[in-house]
Amino acid sequence: MRRTLTLLAMFAGTLSAQTRSLPPAVRNFVSVDAPVVAITHVKLVDGTGTAAKADQTILIRGDKIASVGPAASVTVPSGARVIDGTGKTVIPGFIGLHDHMYYGGMQFMGVSYPRLFLGAGVTTIRTTGSVDSYQELNLKRRIDSLLTPGPNIVVTGPYLQGSGVGPGAMHPLSGPEDARRMVRYWAEEGVTWFKAYTQISRADLAAAIDEAHKHGVKVTAHLCSVGFREAVGLGIDQLEHGLLTNTEYFSGKQPDVCPQADDSTMYASLDINSPDVQRTFKEMVAHHVAMTSTLDVFELSSPSRVPVDQRVLDALYPTMSTQIARFYETGKTAKDSIHRVTFKKSMEFERAFVKAGGLLGAGSDPCCLSAIAGYGDQRNYELLNEAGFTPEQAIQIMTSNGAKILGFDKRLGTIQPNMQADLVIIAGDPVRTPSDIRNTETVFRQGIGFDSAKLRESVKGLIGLR
C-alpha cells in the first residue's frame, strides 16, 4: 500500500513538472501545457454528427484524447490540469479544406494567417491553390517543429491553369505534357494535393490527374471550362465551391470553354431536383468525389446580407480596413436580389448533395474583401446552419468530413479516445446560438492549448501586410 501511494505521489509530481520545451515565439501564446489535462462539465459536439452531449469530461494525455464521457463517470487523475468547462462547449478543431495563405493581391500572409486560423479554432488547413508552395512547405515545417504557432498545413502545388487569361501568379499550361511536368516536379518536392483552375482543358486536366495518381497525390478543382461530370469522368478526387462553379447546366456550353455570359439567372432558375442535377450527384457519389462548401466567400456576391464583423476590420492593415469598411457600408443598399437567390440555390445544392450520399467538407477561401483566415471558417458554420444543416451536422462537415477527405480520419476530426487532441473550447453554446462559434477561448493542437485572445490580438492590423 505504501509503495502504491509513493508511486501515485511520484506520478502526480511528474504531471505537474513535465511541460514541453517551446520557444518564446510559441510559448507566448500557450495557456495550457501539461501532461494530463481534464476539461470538465462541458457540452460536447464530437464531430460524428450525433446529438450534442451535456456535462461531459474530456481527458487529454500528451497529444492524445485519453477518455471522454459523462462528468460523473470519468476519473480525473490527481495532479492533472483541470479546466472547468461549465457553460462552455467543446468541438473538434476545424479542418479547412479550401483555405489559402494569401490575401488580396495574392500576397503571402505567413505571419498573420497561421495565428488567425489557429486562434479561430482551425487546426488543420489545406492551402487549396498556392502562389508560393516553397514558402508554404517551409512554414509547414516550422509549425510542425513547434517553432511558430499555426495549424497543420496540407500544402497544395501551384495552380494548374489553362492557357486563357488568369491571375498573373499562375503558370498557363501549354498542354498535357506541361501539366504532367508540373505535377511530377511538385509532387517530388512534397506537395500532396493540386488544384486545377478555371481555364484548364479536359486534356490537361486528365494528364494532371493521371500523373498525380501515379505519385500518390490528389487533385481538386475550381472549374469553369470543364463541367463537374466531365471532371468526375477524368478521375478527379474532389470539386471546390459547389454549384456556382459548375457550368455543365449552361445552355450551349462549349467544350473546354468557360462561359462568358452572366450566370445569375441560370443558377437562380435551376431545379435542384431535376434529373440533370441529380445525375451529377449520382456520378460524384459513385466515384467517391467529395465537394467543398465555401459559402462565406460566395456570400460576398450578396453584400446586402454580409454582416459587419468588427474583428475583420481590426485585423486588417489600416488601408485595407478602410476599404472593407466601405464595402460593408455600400453593401447595405446593394441591389443584389438575384445574387441572394443564387446564393440560396447554392445552399440547396449542398443539402441535396449530402442527401444523395455525397461527402461535403468546408473551407473559407480567405482571399479577399471580408473573407479572411479563421473568421471566414466561423462564418461558414453559421451559414451551414442557415442552409438547413443541424449544428451537429455543420460541425461534422467542418471536422470529421474534412478529415475523411484528406485521409486523416483515423487520427483527426472527432473527439474520441486515441484521437489526436485537436479541439476547441468555446464560451457559450453554438448549438443553440450559432454566432457563439466566434467565442473561441482555448484551441488545443496536439494537446497544447493556445490562448485564442492572444493569437487574435497579435495579428491586429497585419492582414494585407504580412
Q: Is 50 exceeded by the pLDDT of residue 8?
A: no
Domain for residue 465, yes or no?
no
Are the CB atoms for 105 and 369 separated by under 8 Å?
A: no
Residues 268 and 185 in one domain: yes
pLDDT at 414: 98
pLDDT over 50 (residue 2): no
pLDDT at 167: 74
Residue 9 has pLDDT above 70, yes or no: no
Q: How far apart are CA 382 and CA 391, in angstroms?
A: 9
> Are 134 and 247 within one domain?
yes
Q: Distances in Å between the alpha carbon of 15 and those of 18, 104, 126, 347, 445?
A: 6, 46, 35, 48, 19
**220 and 316 assigned to the same domain:** yes
pLDDT at 1 over 90: no
Mean pLDDT of 357-374: 98
- Bigger pLDDT: 14 or 297? 297
**Nearest to 216, CA basis, from 240, 238, 194:** 194
Number of domains in the chain: 2
Question: Do 337 and 426 lie in a common domain?
Answer: no
* Residue 4 maps to a domain: no
- Rounded Cα distance between 332 and 343, Å, is 17
Q: Answer yes or no: do 259 and 247 share one domain.
A: yes
- State the average pLDDT over residues 325-331: 98
Per residue in 26-68, pLDDT tens? 999 999 999 999 999 999 999 999 999 999 999 999 999 999 9
* 8: in domain: no
Q: Report pLDDT for 11.
A: 41
Q: Give the DSSP per-residue string, 292-316.
A: EE-HHHHGGGSGGGPPP-HHHHHHB
Q: Would you state the cell numbers that stand for residue 148, as one nine-digit string? A: 511558430
Range of lowest pLDDT (4-18, 369-383, 391-405, 452-466): 4-18
Judge if 290 and 275 occupy the same domain: yes
Distance of CA 303 to the CA centre of its chain: 22
What is the rounded average pLDDT of the residues 271-285? 97
Residues 72 and 200 in one domain: no
From 406, 430, 449, the end of a domain falls on 406
Please check whether residues 393 and 446 belong to one and the same domain: no
pTM: 0.95
Q: Quickly tell me which residue has 454549384 as its cell.
A: 243
Give SS3 for 78.
coil
Q: What CATH number corresponds to the domain at position 61? A: 2.30.40.10
For the chain, the average pLDDT equals: 94
Q: What is the pLDDT of residue 261?
A: 66
pLDDT tens, residue by residue, 216-261 = 999 999 999 999 999 999 999 999 999 999 999 998 899 999 997 6
Q: Which helix (H) or strand (E) holds 219?
A: strand 218-221
Say if residue 290 is in the same domain as residue 439.
Answer: no
pLDDT, position 93: 98
Q: Is position 7 within any domain? A: no
Contacts of 153 (CB under 8 A, 6+ apart): 101, 114, 124, 125, 126, 127, 136, 139, 140, 143
Domain of 287, in residue numbers: 94-406
Q: Are residues 401 and 256 in the same domain?
A: yes
The CATH number assigned to the domain holding 282 equals 3.20.20.140
Residue 11 in domain: no
Least confident of 12-21, 29-38, 153-162, 422-431: 12-21
Q: Which amino acid is at 358?
A: G
- Given 362, 386, 406, which residue is the final one in a domain? 406
Q: What does the chain come to in residues?
A: 466
How far is it, in rounded angstroms, from Cα 94 to Cα 416?
15
Residue 6 lies in a domain: no
Q: Which helix (H) or strand (E) holds 361?
A: strand 360-362
pLDDT in tens, 113-133: 999 999 999 999 999 999 999
Q: Please tell me whether residues 118 and 261 are part of one structural domain.
A: yes
Per-residue pLDDT reduced to its tens digit, 97-106: 999 999 998 9
The answer on pLDDT for 281 being more than 50 is: yes
Residue 39 lies in a domain: yes
141 and 48 share one domain: no
Q: Is the dihedral of CA 130, 100, 211, 293 positive or negative?
A: negative
Confidence check: pLDDT of 175 > 50: yes
pLDDT attached to residue 265:
83
The answer to the question of residue 169 being in a domain is yes
Q: Which amino acid is at 256?
A: D
